Amino acid sequence: MPKLNAPSTKTARKNRKVGRRHPLATVALIAIGLGLTGGVYAAVNAAPATASADTTSASQQQITEGQKVFEANCASCHGLNAVGSANGPSLIGVGAAAVDFQVGTGRMPMAASGPQAPQKPVQLNDTQIADLAAYVASLAPGPAIPTGPQISTNGDAAQGAELFRINCAMCHNVAGAGGALTEGKYAPPLAGVTPTHIYEAMITGPQNMPVFNDLNLTPAQKSDIITYLTYIQQNPSPGGYALEDLGPVSEGLFLWIFGLGAIVGLAVWITAKSN
């Protein structure tokens, strides 16, 4: 005798079919998850870039004058609209900070092509550099020229020394004396570099240098590094002559030539005197 409350086989099969997940549901969930993750990541990474963007308002007259300076000194390599060419990269989005560093240190305009642009006497005056920076900044948002607390030398020198050793010393030497890289490239010495140009280098990544945005190093940490570099330039080595701070190779060579040479010379003198 059949059970009155037991569902039929057909009804049970229908219920299972209704409750079954669609084959594309997993794919849809993965796509939604990836989209949300990418959106959150883009928002987080866009925050420091927006914070460092040049929000200063330059006058139209300054931008016009800057365009004239650009066409006379830069367009032959970077193109008339600063979009780049075979001889130079695009300047769209590099910001005023990149212009102030490259032109303010004499690296640009570049005299001749090479592995990297060397520092040389500045070719433009301060007004021309400011106008040129305003023009390039007007093309697209980019890092602004640092001011105020960003370039303060009143930070924590000890903390700055630790940050410099972790992030910069492998190229610039622990004392900022510079060093050789590959294929004729090099990390320049940092002695005599202004706090403004040091900060600009960190946020724009000139030549072979990586960019240190606010996620890598906060503005306060950048100020600490500037404080450390200023301190070692103003305070001589407590150990005497530092051999240009070039590291253990130069110090070892000095000991081999002069130290060992002095010992050999003393031994010869003692032998000659005893005879």
Residue 231: domain span: 148-238
Of 112, 139, 166, the position where a domain reaches its end is 139
Structural domains in the chain (count): 2
Higher-pLDDT residue of 18 and 243 is 243
Domain match, 165 and 229 both: yes
Of 36-40, 66-70, 217-221, the range with the lowest mean pLDDT is 36-40
- DSSP state, residue 182: S
Domain match, 174 and 223 both: yes
Give 9-34 pLDDT, tens digit per residue. 555 555 555 555 666 667 777 778 77
pLDDT of 180 higher than 90:
no
- Give the pLDDT score at 41: 59
- Give the pLDDT score at 195: 95
Structure tokens at 68: 């004239």
In this prediction, residues 65-78 reach a mean pLDDT of 93
For helices 126-139 and 95-104, angle between their N-to-C axes, nearest 10 degrees: 150
In a domain? residue 15: no
- The DSSP-derived string for 53-120 is B------HHHHHHHHHHHHHHTHHHH-TTSS-BTTB---TT-HHHHHHHHHHTT--S-SS--SSPPP-
Structure tokens at 251: 């110090």
- Give the pLDDT score at 249: 65
Burial of 275: CB neighbours in 10 Å, binned 0-12, 13-18, 19+: exposed
- Give the pLDDT score at 59: 87
pLDDT of 7 higher than 70:
no
In this prediction, residues 72-95 reach a mean pLDDT of 91
Of 37-46, 48-57, 133-142, 249-258, the range with the lowest mean pLDDT is 48-57
Domain match, 99 and 82 both: yes
In this prediction, residues 210-219 reach a mean pLDDT of 93
In a domain? residue 80: yes
- Give the pLDDT score at 30: 77
Percent of the chain with pLDDT over 70: 78
In a domain? residue 253: no
Domain match, 154 and 227 both: yes
Of 139, 159, 188, the position where a domain reaches its end is 139
93 φ, ψ (degrees, to nearest 5): 90, 0
Burial of 40: CB neighbours in 10 Å, binned 0-12, 13-18, 19+: exposed
In a domain? residue 89: yes
> Can you give the CATH number for the domain in which 180 is found?
1.10.760.10
pLDDT of 75 higher than 50:
yes
